[in-house]
A = this chain, B = another copy of it.
Amino acid sequence: MKRLLLLSNSTLPGEPFLGWPEPHIKQFLGNKPLRILFLPFAGVTFSFDDYYEKVNERFVAMGYSCSSAHKVDDKKEAIDQCDVIAVGGGNTFQLASYLQDGWIELIREKVQKGAPYIGWSAGSNVACPTIKTTNDMPIVEPKSFNVLNLVPFQINPHFTDATIPNHGGETRSQRIAEFIVANPGVQVYGVPEGALLQVEGDEVTYKGRGELKVFGGEKT
């Protein structure tokens, strides 16, 4: 059974890194000392080493062990030897580009066999069929917008309908409305910060602060 924990974001303002998700992650993974393979490829303005150190510290504190995909020579072996896949946030386009370099099929197979998947922000975007509902700047051109396709819907992380006063750019809902026009029939879940979707097989549960906003889903 497919199991995914798809977090809007890692950290709330003023709180420690992966602070609010910690109880959700522990409830999702349980008490066994699972081996997590972390993919730091969304990190742009800091090194993959630094990203891994930061994440490792948190996962170890929760009782798990953690290795990083950027240090791996043999991707298949790394996937075979882990229990959990965790994909961190940063830039979704850069992350997609790295995933498309041999990771996609391996991760898909592993998750379809039941290995838990944890993603936050960009890591939640890439669990979807495409990266078309990311908020990120397209600083890197990936081979395609198709990614892991682990769930049948799209996620918009960091969802908010707040806007900058006197600024004319589109609201988030306007942007997602554009997506729906261009991609009729696809459902988009706007997940606010401090919230997540937990996927257990075909069942999707919303947890955390605020409210889930659902867009589209009917062919027009």
Which chain A residues have a beta carbon within 8 Å of chain B's beta carbons? 9, 11-13, 44-45, 91, 94, 130-141, 144-145, 158, 160, 162-170, 174-179, 181-183, 193
A–B pairs, 28, beta carbons within 8 Å: A11-B168, A12-B168, A13-B166, A13-B167, A13-B168, A44-B182, A45-B177, A45-B178, A45-B181, A91-B178, A94-B182, A130-B141, A131-B138, A132-B140, A132-B141, A136-B175, A137-B175, A137-B176, A137-B179, A138-B145, A139-B182, A139-B183, A141-B145, A158-B168, A160-B164, A162-B164, A162-B165, A164-B164
Complex Cα–Cα for A178 and B43 (A): 9
A178 touches B141 (CB 8 A): no
Given contacts A132-B137, A141-B144, A164-B164, 9 further A-B contacts (CB under 8 A): A13-B166, A44-B178, A45-B181, A91-B178, A132-B138, A132-B140, A137-B178, A139-B175, A167-B193
Complex Cα–Cα for A193 and B165 (A): 13
Complex Cα–Cα for A140 and B169 (A): 19
A9 touches B168 (CB 8 A): yes
* CB-defined contacts of A91 to chain B, threshold 8 Å: 178, 182
- Partner of A167 from B134, B141, B160 at Cβ < 8 Å: B160
* CB-defined contacts of A134 to chain B, threshold 8 Å: 137-138
A178 touches B139 (CB 8 A): yes
Complex Cα–Cα for A97 and B177 (A): 19
Complex Cα–Cα for A13 and B164 (A): 12
A156 to chain B, nearest CB (A): 8
A16 to chain B, nearest CB (A): 13
A206 to chain B, nearest CB (A): 19
A208 to chain B, nearest CB (A): 14
* CB-defined contacts of A11 to chain B, threshold 8 Å: 168
